């Protein structure tokens, strides 16, 4: 059976869910709800120890839908990259250009979505073997308009826009040429620390809304 790669999934679904928080139980529950709602690319950040623990638990969950790709975000060092891969990460995400994380990803054949903000950083990310370039923080530098301008000299580089992307901005980023959008706090909201039924039901509804916003969008 064909097993889709990370870029296959991002090009088809156009959505990467970013889970950040300090409660491993809540993050694990969020990952399960998002995957059950049809979100196939889920990133758990390492900005707190809870992220790595939630990644480990989620990767070992037999109920996780087949085809779900779990990754580790905010990966800053080679040691973090190794720990994330050992915990079950299928890809790594960095906030900026990290040569050691990219080198570990290449060595272990694990895709790296490398953070970049400028043309020079995008060039460095590609040169070092990034699978895609993560434009971060997208909203702070002009949003979709900046992405369109940045993408002009790099038409063949897959860009993923992340950072403050509200639901009503999704279409703009995709029209500007993003392969996908990464969404964190606008998607998670209270579910990042509340694993109660109401919070998780609201998360599932927001996931459905984001998937609806990305479906049928042609890549520029």
- Residue environment code for 175-187, b if the CB has 16+ CB neighbours within 10 A, otherwise e: ebbbbbbbbbeeb
Model confidence over 24-34: pLDDT tens digits?
Answer: 999 999 999 99
Q: What is the pLDDT of residue 217?
A: 54
Q: What is the pLDDT of residue 2?
A: 43
Model confidence over 39-88: pLDDT tens digits?
Answer: 999 999 999 999 999 999 999 999 999 999 999 999 999 999 999 999 99
Q: Give me the residues of the chain with pLDDT under 70, please.
A: 1-3, 216-220
Q: What is the pLDDT of residue 3?
A: 59
Q: What is the pLDDT of residue 1?
A: 35
Q: What is the pLDDT of residue 4?
A: 74
Per-domain residue ranges for the chain? 6-214
Q: Is 219 left (phi over 0), alpha (psi -120 to 50) or beta?
A: beta
- CATH fold of the domain at 6-214: TIM Barrel (3.20.20)
Query: 58 and 31 in contact (C-beta within 8 Å)?
Result: yes
Distances (CA, A) of 165 to 10, 12, 138, 172, 210: 16, 19, 8, 10, 11
| Positions marked catalytic | 43, 134
């Amino acid at each position: 059976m064909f097993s889709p790669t990370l870029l296959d999934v991002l090009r088809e679904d156009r959505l990467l869910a970013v889970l950040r928080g300090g409660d491993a139980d809540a993050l694990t529950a969020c990952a399960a709800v998002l995957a059950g709602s049809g979100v196939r690319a889920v990133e758990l950040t390492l900005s707190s120890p809870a992220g790595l623990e939630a990644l480990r638990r989620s990767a070992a969950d037999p109920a996780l839908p087949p085809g779900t790709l779990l990754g580790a975000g905010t990966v800053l060092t080679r040691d973090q990259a190794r720990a994330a891969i050992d915990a079950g990460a299928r890809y790594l995400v960095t906030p900026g250009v990290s040569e050691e994380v990219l080198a570990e990803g290449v060595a272990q054949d694990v895709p790296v979505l490398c953070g970049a903000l400028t043309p020079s950083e995008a060039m460095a990310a590609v040169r070092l073997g990034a699978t895609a370039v993560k434009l971060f923080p997208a909203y702070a530098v002009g949003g979709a308009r900046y992405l369109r301008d940045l993408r002009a000299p790099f038409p063949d580089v897959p860009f993923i826009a992340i950072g403050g992307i509200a639901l009503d901005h999704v279409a703009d980023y995709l029209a500007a040429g993003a392969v996908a959008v990464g969404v964190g706090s606008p998607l998670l909201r209270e579910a990042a620390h509340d694993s109660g039924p109401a919070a998780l039901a609201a998360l599932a509804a927001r996931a459905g809304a984001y998937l609806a916003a990305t479906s049928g969008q042609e890549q520029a």
